[in-house]
Structure formats: structure tokens, C-alpha cells
Amino acid sequence: MALATPEKQGRERALVLVKALPHDSKVGETVCCAGVTEKREWRRQFPIRFRHLKEKKFSRWQWIEYQWRTPGTDKRSESRRVQEDSIIPGDVLPLNKRAEFLDPLVVGSVEVAVQRGQSLALIRPRDVRFVCRKKTVEEIETERASFAAAASQKTFFDKDLTALDPCPYDFRFRYKTDAGSHDHSCADWETAVMFWNFEKRYGEDEALRLMSGTFNDEYPRKGMVFAMGTHSRWPQSWLLIGVIRLDVPKQMAFL
């Protein structure tokens, strides 16, 4: 009888690049995060009950340390099951060091990442077009029920969570890479948060106008990358999980 493969575990430090939209899981409302280690190795961190972290909460561009073990069902090599109470937030990577650090990870398309055996990748899109679609009442109510179910699951020591409100819009990006044209819905939590922050201050119409200016003009002009990741159940399907402002490296700007 063959012996089971021993579970791997350890402690590591990674730079957070992505926080995907919260979803319902067996342990309640969780967020899947992704980033890279100091050696520029991709990592996927889950299940993180982000709104329960209190003083351990972290942001994009922040280094975090955590204890991890290999997931039982997720066979993607970058995936790490994080021990939630072991998370230690660290320094934020300075703005002037971000492009230099991440540029070696940027590939021309997800096909290149597939050839390298990766399930996470950074790509620099071309001819970007940001569009938004009003969700149907049925879509919104389905999301509302899912958020409510996730928020209601907690342990004895957890604080009560107010269920998140579904974003009324599906944000999409149409763009090109070395592999051709693409159209992806955006699963980046920070994009949804941007809408809510603008909407609260300026109203819905102005929020959409400001987001269009950000993603159709400002980010493409100054430099942006997309964080892409495969679906846990359908590993051949790639999702747009992060929209990141990232300067084009100076040596490339003059080519």
C-alpha cells in the first residue's frame, strides 16, 4: 500500500497584489488573495476571512508573513492554505520600487504562463476598453443571498458581520495581448470598492464616469497590468483577478 504524500508546511513572506471579491465558503465569507515572495515566486493565499482580521488586515502592496500548509484539494503549485491567526502585516512596497520588482514577472499572454506551468500571471494589456453592464435584478438578488449566507457564518469568537451589498454593475475589460483579443469580467475587490467609494461621494453616474476615466485613460497612459489566475474547478479557464497601476519600466518607455 502506497504511503500518502506528506503535507508540506512552513512560514513565508509575500507581497500582496490581489484581493478577489469575497465569496461564500465552508468557513463563511472568505477572500482569495495572491502575491509574490521576495524571490518573485507566485503565491495564492486562502481561505482568508478578511473582515475578521481586525488589526491583521492588509492592503495591496503590503508585505505579509504567515504560516501555511499545502491545501488538500487545490493542486495548483502556487496555492497555500493560510493559518489566519498567524498573519503579520509588514511594510508597504514603495511606489518607486514596484515596477522594477514586478516587471520580470510580466508575460505577453496567459499562454506563456501555461507553458511555464503557472496558474497565476501578470500581463500588460493593450488597447484596453473598460465597460460596465447593469446587472439584472435576479443576478443582484442571487449575490445578495450569497453574501448574507457568508456573513452569517461565524465562530463563537467572531464579531457579527453586516452582509456586503452586491455591486450593481458587472465591470469588464476588453483588451489585446500577444495571443489576441480578450473580454473578461473583473473579479478584483478593489475595483468594486472604487465604485462604492465614488458612488458614496458623487452619485452613481459620476462614479461610472470617473471609473471610465481611470481605466480607459489614466491607467493605460501611466501603466497598468492585469493579474490573471486560473479557476480552481476549471484550471484551463483564466480569470481577471486584479487591475494594478504599474508604471512601464524606464528602459521600456524609450523603445
Give tens-digit pLDDT for 100-157.
999 999 999 999 999 999 999 999 999 999 999 999 999 999 999 988 887 776 654 4
Outline where DSSP puts E strands in the chain.
9-19, 23-25, 28-37, 42-48, 62-69, 79-82, 88-92, 106-107, 120-123, 126-134, 169-177, 180-185, 224-230, 238-245
38 and 89 fall within a common domain: yes
60 and 139 fall within a common domain: no
191 and 241 fall within a common domain: yes
Is residue 115, in this structure, part of any structural domain at all? no
Query: Residues of the chain with pLDDT > 90: what percent?
Result: 73
88 and 203 fall within a common domain: no
Average pLDDT of the residues of the chain: 90
Per-residue pLDDT tens over the stretch 189-221: 999 999 999 999 999 999 999 999 999 999 999
The confidence score (pLDDT) of residue 254 equals 40
Is residue 83, in this structure, part of any structural domain at all? yes
The order of strands in the sheet holding 106-107 is 106-107, 120-123, 224-230, 238-245
The confidence score (pLDDT) of residue 241 equals 96
70 and 144 fall within a common domain: no
pTM (two decimals)? 0.90
165 and 243 fall within a common domain: yes
Sign of CA dihedral 35, 39, 41, 45: negative
Is residue 164, in this structure, part of any structural domain at all? yes
> How many angstroms separate the CA atoms of 222 and 78, rounded?
30
> How many angstroms separate the CA atoms of 96 and 26, rounded?
40
Radius of gyration of the chain (CA): 19
The parent domain of residue 239 ranges over: 122-253
Q: How many independent structural domains does the chain possess?
A: 2
Q: Which of 72, 93, 114 is the last residue of a domain?
A: 93
With bands split at pLDDT 50, 70 and 90, how would you rate the model's confidence at 251? low
Angle of helix 189-202 versus helix 204-213 axis, rounded to 10: 130
